[in-house]
Amino acid sequence: MPAEPPEPRRLRRLGPARRHVLPATGHADLTARDAGPEDALWHAQWEAQRHAVPPDGRAEPHRPRAELGGLAPEDFDRLVTLSWHHSEGPLCFDPYADPALLDTSPAWRRARGLLALVRADLVSLTTYGELPPQFVLRAAVDLEWPASQKPTLPAGRAREADFPALTSLVDVLARADLLDVGQRRPYTPVRLAPAGHRALDGESPGAGFARFAGAVWREPSRVRATPDPFRTAPGLRGVVPFALWALATVPAETPADVVAAHAWPERLRLTLDARALAEATRVGLLTQGAALGLLRLRRVRGQSTVTRTPLLGTALRTTLPPYAWPVAGGASSALG
């Protein structure tokens, strides 16, 4: 009797520490057919992490590489795979960051506001697996929403389905292990996860923010209530920690196109279409960084510019050497 074929290998996801993480410098081979629809995005991240390291980098993992911004492959590997809420990693948010400084983040204020609503008003999902109408109305009224995200909800027929920004926020909080909505089945109670209680009670406030920022930047959405900010280059999500490490020392008022040309590993940048790279940088990295309160964006002489905020400068910790940004006079040549 012929032997049974071996079971196909399952994709091992990268992301928070609760998942088993394979190193970027020594992954087993996987193919796209190993991944389901949701896993395809994780696969793109894994491929990006692997491709960023030069082929000979695995033979000399301790040697700094220009293609990795001066990092050694082993340091790059730990940077892009370890979580941000564990202090043993090369990049983390200070768990005891000043709560007042964290509250300068618009997205984090909104997230904590939603957690507070859940704790004050225990609710269950409706027969459609949605938040109940009265809770949706309270979230629309009580929380700070950008004008582009806040819909007009009639009191008599408010539905979460008409408020995609709220669905997206709930999804992020669930992926951050701050909120528990189960599998979104009908009548599921909505509860705070233990880390959500700690975030509201002021215990290790920076750890809650790190979980939230990690879910915003490093994990693809499960519900897809809003467009994927990395839709033009989904693999870049896998190396956002590298970009954040670079942005930690970005000079004030650096043009956004200079950021796009330097904040990503060189080998990845060279594989991307210029327009795709620019959009993923603008929407996926910079706009979300501004919403998290880590970056300030503004127009200077017709150019979009980037400046790091006190929150990024104070709350982010790293054991890595600073990224070497080009001097102002040579910035434009780096784009050639």
Q: pLDDT digit string (tens) for 154-164?
A: 767 789 999 99
pTM summary value: 0.84
List pLDDT tens digits, range 228-239: 899 999 999 999
Parallel, antiparallel or unpaired: strands 179-180 and 295-300: unpaired
List pLDDT tens digits, range 59-111: 899 999 999 999 999 999 999 999 887 777 899 999 999 999 999 999 999 99
Per-residue pLDDT, 15? 35
Q: Where are the domains of the chain?
A: 37-58+66-96+229-336, 99-203
List pLDDT tens digits, range 273-320: 999 999 999 999 999 999 999 999 998 888 899 999 999 999 999 999
Parallel, antiparallel or unpaired: strands 189-192 and 123-124: antiparallel
Whether residue 256 contacts residue 281, with contact meaning beta carbons closer than 8 Å, is answered with yes
Position 34 pLDDT exceeds 70: no
Mean pLDDT of the region 191-213: 93
Burial class (CB in 10 A: 0-12, 13-18, 19+), 49: buried
Per-residue pLDDT, 328? 59
* DSSP string covering 33-89: GGS-TTHHHHHHHHHHHHHHS-GGGTT-TTS--GGGTT--HHHHHHHHHS-SS-TTS
Per-residue pLDDT, 122? 86
Residue 84's Cα: distance from chain center in Å? 10
Closest by alpha carbon to 145, among 161, 123, 121, 169?
169
Average pLDDT, the chain: 85
CA pair distance 74, 24, nearest whole angstrom = 8
Helix (H, G, I), strand (E, B) or coil at 108: helix
